Amino acid sequence: MRYSGFRVLREGLTGNKGWKAAWREPDPKPEYDIIIIGAGGHGLATAYYLSKEFGMRNIAVLEKGWLGGGNIGRNTTIIRSNYLLPGNEPFYEMSMKLWENLEQDTNYNSMVSQRSILNLIHTDGQRDAFVRRANAMFLAGADAELADEAQLRRELPFLNFDNARFPIKGGLYQRRGGTARHDAVAWGYARGADSRGVDIIQNCEVTGIDIENGRVRGVQTVRGPIRANKVAMCVAGSSGRVAAMAGMRLPIESHVLQAFVSEGLKPVLPGVITFGAGHFYVSQSDKGGLVFGGDLDGYNSYAQRGNLPVVEDVVEGGMALMPMIGRARLLRSWGGVMDMSMDGSPFIDKTETEGLYFNGGWCYGGFKATPASGFCYAHLLAKGESHPVAREMRLDRFKLGHLIDEKGMGNQPNLH
Ligand SMILES: Cc1cc2nc3c(=O)[nH]c(=O)nc-3n(C[C@H](O)[C@H](O)[C@H](O)COP(=O)(O)OP(=O)(O)OC[C@H]3O[C@@H](n4cnc5c(N)ncnc54)[C@H](O)[C@@H]3O)c2cc1C
């Protein structure tokens, strides 16, 4: 069924009896060509592009809980392509271009809103670094704009310029950055994949990976064994646990990241604002809530909930940047499990087991990557070789010494 304004009108006039479920609830078949573990944003996008771009349909996406219940439904919805390094920037710019056409492509309202993202500058050294980053963005075909303090004073008068803990000297804008409705992204990809024949199987936890003579043969699940000659891990915060089923140890730690939303307010924030010095970032949802977050909780965990010291830390960051936020009431907070890699960059690669593939290490930034991650993972699964923009996202890059360390922080996940 195609969604359109005309369809809404017609259904409205005929008692809304014609709507169909957006995807089926199939039982697992005994065998598929490809099994994708994890129905988060990346797993569903992979299934979508496999079926749409590469004509592969005999695919199952196995999800231990409900579709979209992981980080795809817990993030702060920011999309951008403002990276520095050649291993990252062209990939994220490809993602941004896919975002720009996502709703037409999937025929689903994902509320992609290019309302801009601004990274604040507090020191001369930071300005130099951001100018360099802007040039790298131009080279990859992205947009960037440097703003001085006077411009920001005009555009964002509520920021604490005069009495700030860290003086605001300017900022780096990406006007094409912004937000998208996170769970609608999962639903749109799920509907598109399902309509092309992909089986999305919820409440089907993978409990083991079957390997014979160095080759993957399928998976064990709570609903029985399922065979496949290609198995694609795509489980974000559970990467370490699922890879361990295949005897792999990953350069990834799992950490909790929290986010917060205030009561609904009248429009006050024009776009996304990030405050690196205090680690606080904020945007305003279409419902009016201020959506914000900051640092990781700071220790390894698989719990999808956070702790109070970080609540205090994030709110302090908000108060330092825009004291008016102290007047808003906090509505909700929640947490998700982040797959923090040792250089802050992701992996889309084959593993040493034939037929077994890995996608993970997305850290705080995997939502914006969802379209390109799905496309490049589908490319790898279908063609057996990396997509050019994901070529450096290799699992053996630590062994080879070709890290993709955007911030030059080394192997300390909480600093990326
Ligand atoms: C609070 C917070 C804020 C964030 N903000 C942003 C942001 O603003 N911008 C941005 O770009 N990124 C952001 N991120 C990061 C982003 O959400 C993630 O990097 C991205 O969603 C991860 O990919 P995914 O959607 O596939 O993960 P998930 O949605 O977590 O999908 C993985 C799925 O695998 C399933 N699974 C796990 N184990 C098994 C198993 N054994 N068998 C079957 N299924 C299994 C899980 O249930 C889950 O549904 C944020 C994350 C959090 C938590």
Any atom of ligand 1 within 6 Å of the Cβ of 201: no
Q: Which of 119, 235, 272, 292 to mutate to test the pocket of ligand 1 (most atoms within 8 A of CB)?
A: 235
- What pLDDT does residue 71 have? 97
In this prediction, residue 277 carries a pLDDT of: 87
Q: Are 37 and 62 in contact (CB under 8 A)?
A: yes
211 pocket-lining for ligand 1 (C-beta < 6 Å): no
CB atoms inside a 10 Å sphere around CB 236: 27
Q: Closest ligand 1 atom, CA of 205? A: 42
310 pocket-lining for ligand 1 (C-beta < 6 Å):
no
Distance 181 CA to ligand 1 centre (A): 14
Give yes or no for residue 72 CB within 6 A of ligand 1. yes
The alpha carbon of 72 and the centre of ligand 1 are apart by a number of angstroms equal to 5
pTM summary value? 0.97
Q: Does ligand 1 have an atom closer than 6 angstroms to the CB of 43?
A: yes
What's the pLDDT score for residue 339?
97
336 CA → ligand 1 middle, Å: 7
CB 39 within 8 A of CB 176: no
**Is the beta carbon of 41 within 6 A of some atom in ligand 1?**
yes
Distance 310 CA to ligand 1 centre (A): 20
What is the 7 CA–ligand 1 centroid distance (Å)? Answer: 32
Measure CA of the first residue to CA of the last residue in the chain; give whole Å.
Answer: 43
Mean pLDDT by 10 residues, the chain (416 residues): 95 96 97 98 98 98 97 97 97 98 98 98 96 98 98 97 89 98 98 98 98 98 98 98 97 96 96 93 97 93 92 94 95 96 97 98 96 98 98 96 91 81
Report whether residue 81 contacts ligand 1, using a CB cutoff of 6 Å: no
CA distance to 19, 388, 414, per residue, from 341 (Å) = 42, 21, 10
Residue 77 in contact with ligand 1 by CB distance below 6 A:
yes
Residue having the nearest C-alpha atom to atom 3 of ligand 1? 75
206 lines ligand 1 (CB under 6 A): yes
Q: Is the CB of 238 under 6 A from ligand 1?
A: yes
Domains and CATH numbers, the chain: 22-78+182-251+343-415 (3.50.50.60), 115-176+253-341 (3.30.9.10)
Q: Which atom of ligand 1 is nearest to the CA of 369?
A: 11
Protein residue closest via CA to atom 9 of ligand 1: 78
Q: From the CA of 156, how far away is ligand 1's center (Å)?
A: 32
Q: Is 69 a pocket residue for ligand 1 (Cβ < 6 Å)?
A: yes
Note the pLDDT of residue 412.
84
pLDDT score at 325: 95
Is 374 a pocket residue for ligand 1 (Cβ < 6 Å)?
no
Token code pair at residue 397:
């890059």
